[in-house]
Amino acid sequence: MKSDLKIIPLGGLGEVGRNMSLFEYDGKILIIDMGFRMPEEDMPGVDFIIPNISYLKGRQKDIVGAVFTHGHYDHIGAIPYMIEKLGNPPLYASGLAGGIILKRQDDFPHLQKLNLTQVKAGSRVKLGPFVVEFFKQNHNISDNFGFFIETPVGNIVHTSDFKFDKNPVYDLPTDYEKIKALGKRGVLLLLSDSTGAEEEGHSLSEEVIMENLEEIFKVAKGRIIAATFGSLINRIQQLIALSEKYGRRVAVDGYSMKTNVEICKRLGYIKSEKGTLIKTSQMQEYPDSKLTLICTGAQGEGQAVLMRIANGEHRFVRLKKEDTVIFSSSVIPGNERTVQFLKDQLYRQKAKVYHYKMMDIHAGGHAQREELRQMIDLLKPNFFIPIHGQYSMLVNHAELAKGQGVPEKNILVVENGQTITLGPKKMVLEKGRVEANYIMVDGLGVGDVGEVVLRDRQTLANDGMFVIVAIIDRATGKVRGSPDIISRGFVYLRESKELLYETRKKVIETVNKTTGGGGPVNWSYVKDNIRNKIGDFLYSKTQRRPMILPVVIEV
Amino acid sequence: MKSDLKIIPLGGLGEVGRNMSLFEYDGKILIIDMGFRMPEEDMPGVDFIIPNISYLKGRQKDIVGAVFTHGHYDHIGAIPYMIEKLGNPPLYASGLAGGIILKRQDDFPHLQKLNLTQVKAGSRVKLGPFVVEFFKQNHNISDNFGFFIETPVGNIVHTSDFKFDKNPVYDLPTDYEKIKALGKRGVLLLLSDSTGAEEEGHSLSEEVIMENLEEIFKVAKGRIIAATFGSLINRIQQLIALSEKYGRRVAVDGYSMKTNVEICKRLGYIKSEKGTLIKTSQMQEYPDSKLTLICTGAQGEGQAVLMRIANGEHRFVRLKKEDTVIFSSSVIPGNERTVQFLKDQLYRQKAKVYHYKMMDIHAGGHAQREELRQMIDLLKPNFFIPIHGQYSMLVNHAELAKGQGVPEKNILVVENGQTITLGPKKMVLEKGRVEANYIMVDGLGVGDVGEVVLRDRQTLANDGMFVIVAIIDRATGKVRGSPDIISRGFVYLRESKELLYETRKKVIETVNKTTGGGGPVNWSYVKDNIRNKIGDFLYSKTQRRPMILPVVIEV
């Protein structure tokens, strides 16, 4: 099988985020991205989810390196949780992505130093049997790379997250000729971003966003408070430039945003005149009409800056009637309710609110159908695999590729953990699956929260818990005194005295009946009995099913 | 104050759902709607939320009656939970709304019989100082009423949920002349639906939806599985009629939908030819091309029919490649992720999927900005209050009314629990507030789940719980044996033996140190000490904060 290449996606297919895939040839493995994703609603307490790297266990020596497309956490966020397990392989990333990776590593001081090389667009790096050539792609963060990967079976293009923008702001426009030239070198397989595959037309140019934002700057009388993602470097740059044009100082607030702005300033990815950037604490020194605050919290996150401002809990900023609040970001699915709550709070305080549904003041970072077609036309690949996105997006992207002339048999819709075998003339989806399930990170624990723990958390969340402590006299087999009950999240105990009284009686009855025989007592049977009887009893009284935990102590 | 009318909204303002308001004149009270709403994401285990009716406590004799706009649960769903507390007053509703109210009451057999009168459009009912005239409004359920209410201070129009539709399907078009005539009788105050106040233009006509649905019926080869809300009676009627046109039998599945179709069939609100409707169990008797299944689950609800089909758990229906699945409903904010999960499951099984973002196969039930302007123009009210909707919608609706010529001083944006005093020439927002907080329903409990219980549920959900049972020897003040630990939702215990071992040691240390003095022991101090020390210890080891519940038993 030496002549075939294996491609194994470990994350990012059939989901948005957690991007990571492997290329393997002749036993040598190249890693592309190590991202995380945010937990689902039914995973309370989980911080984020990372890819399962069991497949790489014991293969540290075979890893020739890892390349990163850009500095967003869904592409780099899992590094600290897996880098040592991977044997600290050499990493390659752009200047900005590298800067963000290194800065994040500061939060994990116990880890070894990373073996990171920062590369430029046009760089070529030989990693075992692979030569990776980095090329520039527009996205909503600077220094975003696609990969042109020369392999022994043929050339593969991995697009990364991308969009085409003829008029980006503070960034170079898409170089169509360059991409076409890559296509001319022959592309055996294209792996292309599917996040926008269900959106018709072309993504908005950042130039349009800039113009619309400027309309708001023109009329705003008081402070401008602009909330966006901390990772949306291009938007932050636009807001700084507009503020300078309209004579406003700029304060930046929110941990992730401040960190990113610092890195970008230092590396030259964000430009501002001397004196433009001020501290939040200095805002009171300037008139409102001369101030912009760029901050986090556009998703309605509970502790982010905008929510603190809306709730009157920010250290320096109290909302005023003349303030203009801009939501320059889309709403991530699942956050609609909290964003609405936040908007309502702002309206209650009479602020002027602009959001992306009222005006084009946000553009996503992903190519829409028109651009996706164009990418296929420019590269003319033999084989095609849609990557990055929900399963429905992958299917719609595959359909689109068919429409652009890629033969149906040369297209595969793949799921995480499946293996693709690629030869110069064929692409096959293998039957088996590599482990690719969710690995959950919760606090310091990586992978120790699984199905059982999550199911318990859900049960506890829905109806609370009910601990019954019964002390049983060894001699008589009878309950001594009155059983203790500890319950949380079930009913308000102070107002449920009657229920508790009856429950205690029921516990005593149940135990005495079970242990009354005089022979040896089966304690696990006694506990099961308490659990079932009291469970049914509480359900009949409340139609709730708290988790019942009997503690039986023999004295 | 005899000459003034009081209006008190108890729900539905600053939120979507839970609609209920009071009109009070000379001590006599008229109730409009008694709706519920679904819980927020941070209210695990809560079934729904109803209005607080403390204001009506002890005033049963003053209630002259309650009128209902239509049969959706956000307008009638709270009836069983409050009707007896209100003294079982006379209720007035349309034929269909009345049918749904009575059917629901069957689920509450312990309640008194309702005192319900079914009225028709054009009916006038005198209730104390009020005369309520019911008029027809288009919505997405039949038999939807607006109210023209004659009061001693002037006429008030309450629009209910409405939209204007010139070409509805199986319903009468909006009678603009009728509404204009109401306006000519003089409207002192208009209370108008704000749910669509942030949507530009005009809502889609049901005729367009019908045409688009027909396009799908024309090309579908296998079964058509159409998911929508169980309450969307008009859509269900459309799907039945199209099925008849294309020679398909129709099975209806999902509890709420089956119940509604039964009521509507009986009352004549859904029409079908003899033999069209079959049971789900009979589906296998017909060829796939001759079958439509209308079912619940378009929101991705875990146990609804479409999810069971997608997961291969439905009793009679297994998905096939030729099946066409239609999502004929919008996605309720908060459900985006589960709907995407459901769609992906359907795509994985190769079904053809249509949803409202791909094609106009769903129309909402609410007037958009063009219709809202038209309503104001037709009725020409002196005073205006936006009702039904999030606070941002109320504000935008108020702005719109200003644009239509209602003077700013005659418009009030009101919140639940505020009191409006209305005279023939003035409208004032009073300072005080009536209790209008959320009353939560969980199982059989109404209002017994409050802040404390919810906070506990959230804590339990995030990091689980940790019960420590320490038996202490009265004589020595020392822990006897090894403390018992019961933990759920925190870590996977089987893989945390080391942590549990260390924790036990820590508990023994902590107790022995606290009780070692020889004097009388302060047990609540001991418990606090365990809680704090073990809490910090577990956090240092895991960065999680489970709820710690110490049980100390002296023997």
Q: How far apart are the first and last CA of chain B?
A: 69
| ipTM computed for the complex | 0.88
Q: Kindly determine whether residue B444 and residue A542, on different chains, have CB atoms separated by under 8 Å.
A: yes
Contacts of B200 in chain A (CB under 8 A): none
Query: Is the pLDDT at A12 greater than 50, yes or no?
Result: yes
Percent of chain A with pLDDT over 90: 83
**Contact between residue A272 and residue A315 where contact means Cβ atoms under 8 Å apart:** no
Closest CB to A392: pick one of B343, B444, B453.
Answer: B343
Which one of B347, B353, B360, B524 makes the best mutation probe of the A interface by having the most chain A beta carbons within 10 Å?
B347
- Angle in degrees, CA B191, B196, B200, rounded to 5: 125
What are the tens digits of pLDDT across the range A232-251? Answer: 998 999 999 999 999 999 99
What are the tens digits of pLDDT across the range A493-511? Answer: 888 899 999 999 999 999 8
Average pLDDT, chain A: 94
| Shortest Cα distance, chain B CAs vs residue A390, angstroms | 7
B488 three-class SS: strand
Give the pLDDT mean for B468-473: 91
The residue among B63, B5, B61, B1 whose CA lies nearest residue B34 is: B63
Contacts of A359 in chain B (CB under 8 A): none
Hey, is the C-beta of A549 within 8 angstroms of any chain B C-beta?
yes
Closest CB to B443: pick one of A445, A450, A544.
Answer: A544
When pLDDT is cut at 50, 70 and 90, the band that residue B369 belongs to is very high
Give the pLDDT mean for A548-555: 90
Which one of B408, B467, B492 makes the best mutation probe of the A interface by having the most chain A beta carbons within 10 Å?
B492
Hey, is the C-beta of B457 within 8 angstroms of any chain A C-beta?
yes
Side chain identity at A480, as an amino acid letter? R
When pLDDT is cut at 50, 70 and 90, the band that residue B276 belongs to is very high
Give the pLDDT of residue A1. 47
Query: Is the pLDDT at A2 greater than 60, yes or no?
Result: no
What are the tens digits of pLDDT across the range A103-114? Answer: 999 999 999 999
Give the pLDDT of residue B516. 66
Contacts of A490 in chain B (CB under 8 A): 453
What are the tens digits of pLDDT across the range B171-211? Answer: 889 999 999 999 999 999 999 999 999 999 999 999 999 99
Q: Kindly determine whether residue A348 and residue B391, on different chains, have CB atoms separated by under 8 Å.
A: yes
DSSP output for B35-71: --BPPPTT-TT--EEE---GGGTT-GGGEEEEE-S-S
| Shortest Cα distance, chain A CAs vs residue B499, angstroms | 12
Q: Kindly determine whether residue B462 and residue A41, on different chains, have CB atoms separated by under 8 Å.
A: no
Which pTM value belongs to this model? 0.91
CB atoms near residue B542 (< 10 Å)? 19
Query: Is the pLDDT at A517 greater than 80, yes or no?
Result: no
Residue spans of alpha helices (H) in A318-470: 336-348, 369-379, 391-403, 451-463
Closest CB to A392: pick one of B344, B392, B450.
Answer: B344
**Contact between residue A248 and residue A283 where contact means Cβ atoms under 8 Å apart:** no
In the DSSP assignment, the letter for residue B349 is T
When pLDDT is cut at 50, 70 and 90, the band that residue A441 belongs to is very high
Hey, is the C-beta of A408 within 8 angstroms of any chain B C-beta?
no
The residue among B331, B388, B337, B341 whose CA lies nearest residue B362 is: B331
Query: Is the pLDDT at B263 greater than 60, yes or no?
Result: yes
Percent of chain B with pLDDT over 90: 83
Q: Kindly determine whether residue A337 and residue B337, on different chains, have CB atoms separated by under 8 Å.
A: no
Q: Kindly determine whether residue A467 and residue B551, on different chains, have CB atoms separated by under 8 Å.
A: yes
CA dist., res. A207 & res. A245, Å (int): 16
Bridge-based pairing state of the strands A5-11 and A20-25: antiparallel
What are the tens digits of pLDDT across the range B448-464? Answer: 888 899 999 999 999 99
Q: Kindly determine whether residue A337 and residue B40, on different chains, have CB atoms separated by under 8 Å.
A: yes
Give the pLDDT of residue A288. 97
Burial A152-191 (b: 16+ CB within 10 A, else e): ebbbbbbbbbbbbbeebbbbeebeeeebeebbeeebbbbb
CB atoms near residue B336 (< 10 Å)? 18
Query: Is the pLDDT at A3 greater than 90, yes or no?
Result: no
| Shortest Cα distance, chain B CAs vs residue A195, angstroms | 13
For B357, the token pair is 């973002």
CA dist., res. B102 & res. A236, Å (int): 57
The residue among A335, A281, A279 whose CA lies nearest residue A304 is: A335
Q: Which of B4, B33, B171, B193 is catalytic?
A: B193
- Angle in degrees, CA A114, A116, A121, rounded to 5: 160
Average pLDDT, chain B: 94
Q: Which of A70, A72, A314, A366 is catalytic?
A: A366
Query: Is the pLDDT at B289 greater than 60, yes or no?
Result: yes
What are the tens digits of pLDDT across the range A380-410? Answer: 999 999 999 999 999 999 999 999 999 999 9
The residue among A33, A6, A5 whose CA lies nearest residue A159 is: A33
Give the pLDDT of residue B387. 98
Give the pLDDT of residue B1. 47
Contacts of B469 in chain A (CB under 8 A): 469, 551, 553
In the DSSP assignment, the letter for residue A78 is T
What are the tens digits of pLDDT across the range A89-136? Answer: 999 999 999 999 999 999 999 999 999 999 999 999 999 999 999 999
Could you say which residues from 19 to 78 on chain A have a Cβ atom under 8 Å away from some Cβ of chain B?
Answer: 40-41, 44-45
- The 3-state secondary structure of B68-126 reads CCCCCHHHHCCHHHHCCCCCCCCEEECHHHHHHHHHHHCCCCCCCCCCEEECCCCCEEE
| Shortest Cα distance, chain B CAs vs residue A478, angstroms | 16
Q: Kindly determine whether residue A444 and residue B489, on different chains, have CB atoms separated by under 8 Å.
A: no
- Spell out the residues 6+ positions from residue B260 whose beta carbon is closer than 8 angstroms to its own: B100, B230, B231, B233, B236
Hey, is the C-beta of B500 within 8 angstroms of any chain A C-beta?
no
Q: Kindly determine whether residue B484 and residue A44, on different chains, have CB atoms separated by under 8 Å.
A: no
What are the tens digits of pLDDT across the range B532-553? Answer: 999 999 999 999 999 999 999 8
Could you say which residues from 327 to 346 on chain A have a Cβ atom under 8 Å away from some Cβ of chain B?
Answer: 333-334, 336-337, 340, 343-344
What are the tens digits of pLDDT across the range B1-14? Answer: 457 999 999 999 99
**Contact between residue A141 and residue A231 where contact means Cβ atoms under 8 Å apart:** yes
B451 → chain A, closest CA residue: A492
Q: How many helices (H) and strands (E) does chain A have?
A: 14, 26
When pLDDT is cut at 50, 70 and 90, the band that residue B329 belongs to is confident
Percent of chain A with pLDDT over 70: 99
Side chain identity at B248, as an amino acid letter? R
**A84, A87, A119, A189, B5 from A64: Cα distances, Å:** 15, 11, 16, 21, 80
Query: Is the pLDDT at A268 greater than 80, yes or no?
Result: yes
B496 → chain A, closest CA residue: A448
Q: Kindly determine whether residue A337 and residue B340, on different chains, have CB atoms separated by under 8 Å.
A: no
Q: Max CA-CA distance within chain A? A: 91
What are the tens digits of pLDDT across the range B494-505? Answer: 888 999 999 999
Q: Kindly determine whether residue A462 and residue B541, on different chains, have CB atoms separated by under 8 Å.
A: no
User: Would you call A366 a catalytic residue per the annotation?
Assistant: yes
What are the tens digits of pLDDT across the range B427-437? Answer: 999 999 999 99
User: Would you call B366 a catalytic residue per the annotation?
Assistant: yes
Contacts of A492 in chain B (CB under 8 A): 448-450, 452-453
Query: Is the pLDDT at B518 greater than 70, yes or no?
Result: no
Give the pLDDT mean for B67-76: 97
When pLDDT is cut at 50, 70 and 90, the band that residue B218 belongs to is very high
Which one of A460, A480, A491, A496 makes the best mutation probe of the B interface by having the most chain B beta carbons within 10 Å?
A460
Contacts of A452 in chain B (CB under 8 A): 492
When pLDDT is cut at 50, 70 and 90, the band that residue B361 belongs to is confident
CA dist., res. A97 & res. A76, Å (int): 8
DSSP output for A155-193: EEEE--S-B--SS-SSSPPP-HHHHHHHHHT--SEEEEE
DSSP output for A319-359: --TT-EEEE-SPPPTT-HHHHHHHHHHHHHTT-EEEETTTS
Contacts of A416 in chain B (CB under 8 A): none
In the DSSP assignment, the letter for residue A125 is E
What are the tens digits of pLDDT across the range A44-97? Answer: 999 999 999 999 999 999 999 999 999 999 999 999 999 999 999 999 999 999
Q: How many CB pairs under 8 A join A and B?
A: 185
Contacts of B457 in chain A (CB under 8 A): 460-462, 464, 489
Hey, is the C-beta of B16 within 8 angstroms of any chain A C-beta?
no
